């Protein structure tokens, strides 16, 4: 049985951008989002071997510490020709300076080394795993992806991370060339295109009161 989120929800992130995005998405459903940062919670080590388990580790730690339902996400980019790298290490590839130009250049270097120069050899997808954990150990988990190809040189200055290199299937502009509403926006305003938007739609279906 799926469980609905009502009342207060802890957002287990220290990233202000993610918190703002979640608050906006949850407000119409009558859910009040409080952040792990505001509650002074630490960040657990992400020791999982996939996106889903890392999201669960973060949500469970916050639910146990606060005795409230807690939400966490984990995401990254999976490059087929690189055997799935950087995957769950997507943030780490940018190093402590969070240099995503360097991380994208690293991906390109490895693709060139493997002779992946045509679009059919340069396929990739973004993954978003979402987890809500309750203090009694109940979990709700969803995962979604968006498929595309990697372009070089990177295009556009919008978004973050690997966006300028990622051309979603069926589109002519990279995520770096799209407004946030086009990339992440949910219908009726947006297309619900990104991995995060798609995962959120799934979570809303099972865990949120209809608006």
Residues comprising the binding site? 13-18, 45, 74-75, 160-163, 183, 195-196
Q: Is 88 helix (H, G, I), strand (E, B) or coil?
A: helix
Confirm whether 74 is a catalytic residue: yes
Binding span for ligand IMP by CB under 6 A among 34-42, 108-116, 153-161, 202-210? 153-161
> In sequence order, what are the beta bridge partners of 139?
133
Partners of 146 in the β-ladder:
126
Decide: is 89 part of the binding site for ligand IMP (CB under 6 A).
no
Of the residues 69, 70, 126, 154, which one makes contact with ligand IMP according to CB under 6 A: 126
Assign residue 153 a region (left: φ > 0; alpha: ψ between -120 and 50; beta: otherwise): beta
Active-site entry in 38, 50, 73, 74 = 74
Half-sphere CA count of 171, side-chain side, radius 13 A: 21
Sheet bearing 166-168, strands edge to edge: 31-35, 7-11, 70-79, 123-133, 139-150, 166-168
Q: 85 is written with which tokens?
A: 């790298």
Minimum CB separation of residue 1 from ligand IMP in Å reads 28
Euclidean distance between CA atoms 97 and 79, whole angstroms = 22
Specify binding-site residues for substrate: 13-18, 75, 160-163, 183, 195-196
How far is residue 144's CA from residue 129's CA, in Å, rounded to a whole number? Answer: 7
Q: Which residues are annotated as a binding site for Mg(2+)?
A: 45, 74
Contact region with ligand IMP (CB under 6 A), list: 25-33, 57-65, 117-125, 156-164: 156-164
Residue from 65, 79, 194, 204 binding ligand IMP (CB under 6 A): 194
Applying CB under 6 A, the residues found at the interface with ligand IMP are 73-77, 90-91, 126, 159-163, 175, 194
Active site amino acids: 74
């Amino acid at each position: 049985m799926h469980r609905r989120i009502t009342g207060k929800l802890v957002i287990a992130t220290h990233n202000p951008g993610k918190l703002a995005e979640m608050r906006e998405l949850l407000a119409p459903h009558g859910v009040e989002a409080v952040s792990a940062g505001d509650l002074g919670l630490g960040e657990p080590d992400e020791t999982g071997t996939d996106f889903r388990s890392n999201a669960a580790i973060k949500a469970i730690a916050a639910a146990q510490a606060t005795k409230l339902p807690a939400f966490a996400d984990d995401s990254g980019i999976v490059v087929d020709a690189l055997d799935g790298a950087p995957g769950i290490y997507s943030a780490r590839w940018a190093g402590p300076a969070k240099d995503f130009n360097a991380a994208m250049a690293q991906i390109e270097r490895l693709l060139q080394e493997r002779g992946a120069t045509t679009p059919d050899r340069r396929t990739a997808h973004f993954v978003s795993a979402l987890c809500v954990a309750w203090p009694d150990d109940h979990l709700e988990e969803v995962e979604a992806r968006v498929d595309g190809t990697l372009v070089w040189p990177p295009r556009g200055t919008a978004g973050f991370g690997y966006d300028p290199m990622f051309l979603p299937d069926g589109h002519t502009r990279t995520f770096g060339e799209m407004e946030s509403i086009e990339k992440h926006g949910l219908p009726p305003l947006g297309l619900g295109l990104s991995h995060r938007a798609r995962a959120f739609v799934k979570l809303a279906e099972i865990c949120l009161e209809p608006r």
